Every structure is written in structure tokens, then in C-alpha cells.
Amino acid sequence: MKLVHLFGTRRFSVVFSVKRFKACVSSMKVFTQKRNPITGSTEWDVQDENYDFHQEIARAGFADMLHDTERNKKYQRALQLAIEKMHSDGKKANVLDIGTGTGLLSIMAVRSGADSVTACEAFKPMAECCAKILEINGVADKIKLIPKRSTDVTVGEDGDMTERANILVTEVFDTELIGEGALSTFAHAHKCLLEPDCIVVPDSAVIYAQVVECPTLWKWNKLNDLSDADLDIVLKTPQKMIDCPGSAAVHDLQLSQLPRNTFRELSDQIPVFYYDWSGRTPIIMKRTVKQDFTVSGTGKAQVVFMWWELNMDTEGKIILSCAPWWTHPDADLASERPQDSIPWRDHWMQAVYYLPQTTNLEKEKEATLISCQDEYSLWFYIETEELKRQSYKRPNCECGVHMALSRTHVSYLNDGRRSKKFLEQLKEEINNESVVLDFNGSSLMGLAAAKLGAKAVYIQEGLNLNLGILQDYISANNLENIHFISELTDEVLSQVTNVITDPNFPSAILPWENLKVAYLLYQYRSRLSNCVSVIPSSCEIWAMPVEFQDLHKISIPLGRCEGIDMAVFDGLVEVSNSRNISDADIEAQPLWEYPCKCRGEPVQLLSIDFSNLKPAYAMDGICEVRKPIKDEEQIVNGFALWVVWNIGGPQSTGPIVPPEVGQRVAWDPHTRQAVKIFKKSYDATMPFKWKYQAVCDLSKGQFNVDIDLVLE
């Protein structure tokens, strides 16, 4: 469906809609089945019949692509050149736009003088929206809109197209370039829809790779030994997890936000794959390429960074690059923050591929990068003179970690700053008479309690993948007295002296969904001893107004895009974002990748003491932000929210140092924060107010927060 092509892929945008049934009512509602991450239960909800579609629209983060001025202008200029070339050759310019979405590129083609334009869009609601956009822009009679996939379009006297096109314009790319089916789309178009001497926009593409050592990112891939503050190993990582080749799944990141001191370049940028979209050479669906390179720095090859460039025109003069700042052709390397000098986009980021096995490389010596490609994905290997591979098959997880846990969750488990504090607290509270209950089987803290001498540890876990991981740790560390239970009995609860739960559940998307620990404690409160010890001991929900540098572009309305009226589409998104249809008002984002400035002091919205749980909590308030000290233009365009857990002291899942008003915020990279983005920016050079209402119902496992500016 073209939605992804048009809007860009948004990480962590999960919809828990499993089944849809038509309700027998005249308003045509549907029942949606949603999983509550706090209670773990499945709940039915009545929604608008187009709920799934509106969820897709609201969560897709479309606007950053259509607000991508560089992309738009380079597509437009390349289209103009292609149409001029056809006319200079005495031919009509017959344009085909595959996956037209809003119709932006088709309208550009008309305005550039195309003789005919055919646009196809398979997603019916999007095609209907496109038709209205063509109408209000006065080009409906100049563009033939076909509501089909390009592979279903027919050519002939009675077909969808009477003749083949001689210009193709399309944008079917993702961060991995080929992950949305670009190879098959172009191959079919040349075979069935295009003339042999056609011009394609873009004309070609190049994928670049760079071999690096990056211990920071490696923590997103493999579990390290669990060590305490004295660096003594508490739990050894099982050998099968150390040897596991991992997953070939791409890890898309804003690499320009990765601090330069966290990685070492072991190679220059290497062009690994060239794609000729023009049809002059065949498109290869599967291939392996070996390239020798001279190692640029001594280190351990752990990761391959990848990005790509599009050659928009036939002469290669118009280039659109997705490179990180240190190798971007347009970066101002002399500026204070060169990463801010290149075009920002979230629909096309950079990709990280974790090598199946680390390899030590020595500066100035030769090594070989093996780049593998199938129809939809890439993977890489490294060879040296001493190390040769038996095969280059696509890596698949053999240890369970890469199937059971997200990359963010793996990095959380590897966060020594957090785990060392947890272990310190365990050492203070655990003794050989302790009977421990752990609600989170995706954590290692229950096993750590057993290693520290607990009499017995009960871990509530029912997922086979998580159980397999824990069993491997038990075997590798010779642990005993650990019991896995799916349901808690009075017999077990009556023995418990300590409840420990690492507040980071795999099912949680938004920060407060980890309140599952508070919900479970409340449900079992009458069956647990009054003197039971609980880790964490409390939590707080915090929020502050911010100025996002770029992230707001995923949500702000288009208005006019390159002079084209997009009000119809803005209206569609506005409907989708309304609370009656979509639940995307607040979403989760890894804010370390998205710079922002603090525009008001952080405020505690809610506090929950786990030793004195109440059935419900409710707080509201109005907060006033004073006039900033610096007399310069400042804006506010959103809120950031996070949770602080008390585990032997505060542990923030938000800022890792106290934010200062007017300064950039340093965010915890191992968790995701919640954000609310305004539809427009507001002046923050004068005092302003904001309001909130936070409600937590532990009896039902529900949490809601409403936060907004007070507009006067």
C-alpha cells in the first residue's frame, strides 16, 4: 500500500488491532480487539468502521516526507528535465506515476508540461483523497487516476493505459532502499508499462556501506555479562547468545545524532550496490558482492552503517543523499553542529546492520566486505586473510534473544548505569531467607536475586521464548531455587518477602505502560505480607514543554506543498487524529535521536508510592512558564513525558541530566519517551501557561493523561 511510500515508516507505531467485526447497527461501527499492556488482558472497543485506515494515517508520520523540500524540488527538477528531453527529441512526454499518494508528483508533471499523466494508487481511501486534491488544484482532467497496483495495470486499446509511458516517476523507497519492493516494481514497469527508451525519475541509486567499531550500538544487539558496581560478574552471558549470528533485520537510526566519540571508522564509505532504474541494464533480485578495502583504523568490526543516494537525472547532476553528516556532500563541517546543516528526514534514515561475528581489523591491512542482497533486504559479512566464511546465508537468531526482545529492550538490559543501581539495592535487601517474586520474565533481576543468595525466586512468565532465555542463563550460571509460574497461588504469595520487578516490560510502548508492576501489586496486595519489600519503591510521571528541532514535521499540516493545495489531505489527517477515531495523540519516540530544547521547567504530574497503593490517582494543574532570560525568538511545539522510578534513588527514563530551560535536552537512549506534537508552533518569548490532567486507575489497569497549552 502506498501509505508507507508517501508517509515514511515510523518506528514504534504499533496498533494492537487484531480482529474487526461489523456491528449490526446503522452507523456501521466495528469492534476492535486491543491488548491492554498494563493488565495484559484483551479488551473489546467500538470504533468507526474506518478505524484501521485512520490509525494508519494518524500514526504514519506522513508530513516529514512532504515537508522534505530538498526531495520535492529535486524530483520536480528531474521531472522538468525528463519532459524537456522528450520534447527536444520530438516526442510527447507521457508520464506514469506509480504509487501517487497525494498526487504531488503527478501535479508536478502536469505543471512541467507533460502531454499526458497517468497515476496509479492501490489504497482506495488514498486514491479517493488524491482525486479530490487533483480536483481542487484544477488538474483532474489532465491526470488519469487508476485505483490499482502498478502490477495490475493493463496497457492496450481497452486497457487502463492506451499506450506505454516514456517517463516514469515514482518514490517506492525506504531506509533500506529496496524494502518496499522497489526491485519488483521497477522490473515489472519496464516489462509491461514503459517504452524501451524511457526516462525514469530517479534514474539510478547507489548504496554505501561503512565498517565501524561501535560498542554503544553493539549493546543494542548482544547481551553483555551482568556486572555490579565493582565490575564483578553477577550473571555470565550464555555462550549460545555470544555465538548467535543475530538477526539481519535492519536497525534504522538517525545516525547523525550518534556522538562521534562512540564509534571508530574502520573503512571509508564503500559503494556496494548500484541500481539502474532506467532499464538500460537488468535489475538483479539476488546477488552477493565482494569488495576488498584497506582498513582505515585498528579496531573490532562490529557494525556496518548503510545509506544511499539517488541520481535523479540521466546525467547524474541532481543527487539526493541520505548520508550521515560526516560524509554528506552538503554538510558544513566547520559549523558548531554540522549535523544540523544537512536536510532532515525521518522517512529515509540511515541503517545499521550488526555483523554476525565481530572481527579484529588492523590499520593499513586488507579486508573484504561481503554485501548480500535479496529482493527486499541486505546483510553483510567481513573476511580477512585469516578468516574465511563457509557461506553467506542470511543471519537468523539461534539464541531467542533477537526474536523475543526488541533492540531497545536489549540495550536497556545492557545499561550498566541502571542495572548497577538495581543490583546495589538487591544486595541491601536480599539474604538467604528471602523469597523473591519477579513479575518481569524479560529481565535478569530475578536470576540475579537467586545468584545473590535468595532462598527461592518465583518468576511470573508464560512466554516460551523468554523462558528459554532464562533457562539458558540458569544453566550457564548454575542457578538453583528458581521457579517459573504463569499464575500466582496463595501458597506462593504468602511466602514472598521481596517483590522485585525491572520496570521495562516488552509489551510497553508508552512509558507509563510499565505501571504494570503497580497494577499487579495492587491486585495481589491483600494476599501479600504487609511487610513485603518492593523494588522499585515508587514512580513519578513527569512532563515539560519543548521545542522540537525537526520531529514536529511528522505531524504539522501541509497547507501548500510546492505551491500545491493539500488542504484535503490535511483534513483527512485531522479527522484521523481526532480522539474519536485514532489514539495517536501521544506517541512514543526515542528522543535521543530527535534534538529538542527545554521550554519550561519539568513538572511532576503524578506520584505513586508502591508501599501504600490506592485504587486510583488523579492530578491536574496549570503551570506557568516565565519569560525567558534571553531576548531571542523562541517557540514551543510539543510536550515530552517520561517516568522516574525509585530504585535506590531516582532512575529517569527521560532526561539523564536535569534539563535547563532554553538548552538542549540529553535523553536516555535505552528507553522511549512519550511526545505530544502541536499542529502548529507557538511563541515562547513571552510567558505562557500549560495544563495537564493525569489519571491512574490501578483497579482497572488504566492510565490517561491530557496535556495542552492554555491558549488565551
Average pLDDT over residues 676-683: 92
Burial of 18 (0-12, 13-18, 19+ CB in 10 A): exposed
Give the model confidence (pLDDT) of 584-615 as tens digits.
589 999 999 999 999 999 999 999 999 999 99
Rg (CA), the chain: 27
- 177-186, 251-260, 571-580, 604-613: the lowest-pLDDT one: 571-580
Specify the DSSP class assigned to residue 375: S
Does this model's pTM top 0.85? My answer is yes
pLDDT at 59: 53
- Contact between 548 and 556 (Cβ < 8 Å): no
Distance of alpha carbon 209 from the chain centroid: 21
For 384, the 3-state DSSP assignment is coil
135 has catalytic annotation: no
Dihedral pair phi/psi, residue 455, rounded to 5°: -65, -40
For residues 341 and 334, give the distance between their C-alpha atoms in angstroms, rounded to a whole number: 10
Which three cell numbers mark 503? 520496570
- What lies within 8 Å, CB to CB, of 32 at 6+ separation is 17, 18, 19, 20, 44, 45, 46, 47, 51
Q: Which of 171, 176, 513, 547 is catalytic?
A: 171
pLDDT at 25: 39
pLDDT at 585: 85
pLDDT at 13: 33
- What lies within 8 Å, CB to CB, of 456 at 6+ separation is 435, 436, 481, 482, 483, 495
Average pLDDT over residues 555-559: 88
- The beta-strand segments (E) located in 154-217 are 165-170, 194-201, 204-213
375 has catalytic annotation: no
pLDDT at 630: 75
Answer yes or no: is pLDDT of 344 > 70.
Answer: yes
pLDDT at 21: 36
Would you place residue 48 in the very low, low, confident or very high pLDDT band (cuts 50, 70, 90)?
A: low
- Give the helix ranges, DSSP H, for 477-629: 490-495, 516-523, 567-577
State the residue for C-alpha cell 504487609: 530
Give the model confidence (pLDDT) of 172-195 as tens digits.
999 999 999 999 999 999 999 999
Answer yes or no: is pLDDT of 7 > 70.
Answer: no
Q: Which amino acid is at 417?
A: R
Would you place residue 633 in the very low, low, confident or very high pLDDT band (cuts 50, 70, 90)?
A: confident
Q: Which residue has the higher pLDDT, 575 or 433?
A: 433
Q: Which of 56, 121, 176, 180 is catalytic?
A: 180
Length of the chain: 712
Domains present along the chain, CATH in parentheses: 1-201 (3.40.50.150), 205-402 (2.70.160.11), 415-507 (3.40.50.150), 538-710 (2.70.160.11)
Which three cell numbers mark 631? 531576548
Average pLDDT, the chain: 91
pLDDT at 41: 79
**CA-angle at 680, arms to 676 and 682, nearest 5°:** 95
